[in-house]
Amino acid sequence: MNICSSFSLRRLRALCRKETLQIVRDPTSILIAFILPVVMLFIFGYGINLDTGVTRIGLICEDTSADARQFAASLTGSPYLDVTDYASPALAGEALTRSRIRGFVVIPSDFSAKIRRAESALTAGEPPEPAPLLVITDGTEPNTANFVQAYARGAWQNWFAQRAAARGQPMPPAISIESTFWYNPSAESRNYLIPGSITLIMTVIGALLTALVVAREWERGTMESLLSSPVSRLEILLSKIIPYYLLGMIVLLLCIAVAHFVMGVQFRGSLPPLLACGSLFLLSVLGMGLLFSTATRNQFNAAQIALIAAFLPAMMLSGFLFEISSMPAPIRAVTCAIPARYFVTSIQTLFQVGDSWRTLLYPLLFLTGTAALFIGLTAKLTRKRLE
């Protein structure tokens, strides 16, 4: 059979119509294309929160002096801490083991005496002693443990500084720090989690759906009928890409609208760079999914490969959830070959910064290369299968 017949726009239109009807008539495709993206957006926007709100800690006060009571009151009055009193370290340790609290502060019995010695050292111009406190945290959650330590240290420093100022005592030279957050003024994790989650959604639409396309044709026996018809290799390939490309772009715009208008995440970019980045990334994952489908000819195997090779790297190694700079050097090298990493950078830039073409240029170039690579490999493999 001669598969290199002339290109026909009429045949391509008929094949695209056939693929579109298959998408519309398949409840699974509709579920994955329209219901799953909205569900994922709300899960990542409201269900997953990397911000630390009120942290539960325990307090053991072994000193009954007025100084100890005043410091305990400063801890209790913090808006970031939910403080529970315990009679002994053993009871607090049991609560920590059962995850009822994330750490506890012990005010020792010689707290007041150490305060007096620290004040005497300041009066004499000597450095004060370390804080007379014991802070124990739950190391199974390192970030929360660091927060507990930072809150306890900050409460101690503020209380000691206020006490010294009230008594007219000298304090060590202090540095005034004014913090300003650029691009994410509210410092809320959802402002970058929601744009990043769009990368996962586009990966599902592109790689997972198209991974089933060619394999489904082989399993149902319709590929033989398609090969016996006077269609070219290019027409077959384009008929598998165009409907899912249009579907993916509709889903992308839907996700942007939901994130901006429903979930309140500010979109600072414009439509042209969004369409450019989204198109190139979508073509990359479409080519990847078609490559898996063409190579395996089995829907289950193609879906499993798409999950392992596309979806999991997009979640774990794209910088969406985990900072790439904190990964080991070999893993950082692997992330350089993952298209999702560059789309995460692009979509987060468009949401939080705007049209920064200097930042978007390299991701655009890389995604152009990966789109050409995967679609080219699929075309080559399709030719081998059809000959």
Q: Give the pLDDT confidence of 274-306 residue by residue, as tens digits.
A: 999 999 999 999 999 888 888 888 888 888 888
Sign, CA torsion 295/18/13/369: negative
- Average pLDDT on 313-331 reads 86
pLDDT at 68 over 80: yes
Average pLDDT, the chain: 82
Q: How confident is the model at residue 9 (pLDDT cuts 50, 70, 90)?
A: confident
Looking at 3.40.50.300, 1.10.287.70, 3.40.50.1470, 3.40.1710.10, the CATH number of the domain 55-166 comes to 3.40.1710.10
Tokens for 122, please give them.
Answer: 């300041």
pLDDT in tens, 82-116: 899 998 888 988 888 878 888 888 888 888 888 77
Sequence-ordered list of residues with C-beta below 8 angstroms from that of 375, at least 6 positions apart, any chain: 237, 241, 283, 286, 287, 290
Amino acid 52: pLDDT: 65
The more confident residue out of 337 and 186 is 337
* C-alpha–C-alpha distance, residues 235 and 361, integer Å: 31
DSSP 170: -
One-letter amino acid of 227: L
For the stretch 331-361, pLDDT in tens is 999 999 999 999 999 998 899 888 888 889 9
Q: How many CB atoms lie within 10 A of CB 14?
A: 14
Q: Rounded mean pLDDT of 244-267?
A: 91
Q: Give the Cβ contact number of residue 260 at 10 Å.
A: 14
- pLDDT > 50? residue 49: yes
3-state secondary structure of 58: strand
* Neighbouring residues of 194: CB distance < 8 A, sequence distance ≥ 6: 41, 44, 45, 259, 263, 265, 351
What H or E segment, with its residue span, contains residue 376?
A: helix 357-386
Nearest partner of 208 among 381, 37, 387, 329, judged by Cα: 37
Question: In a 10 Å sphere around its CB, with 0-12 CB exposed, 13-18 middle and 19+ buried, how is residue 38 labelled?
Answer: middle
- Angle 123-129-131 from CA coordinates, rounded to 5°: 120
pLDDT for 126? 67
Predicted confidence at residue 283, as pLDDT, reads 94
> Rounded to an integer, what distance in angstroms lies between the CA atom of residue 377 and that of residue 4?
17
Indicate where the chain has its CATH 3.40.1710.10 domain(s). 55-166
Of 64, 352, 38, 61, nearest in space to 197 by CA? 38
φ/ψ of residue 343, rounded to 5: -75, -35
C-alpha–C-alpha distance, residues 17 and 20, integer Å? 5
Q: Does the pLDDT of residue 181 top 70, yes or no?
A: no
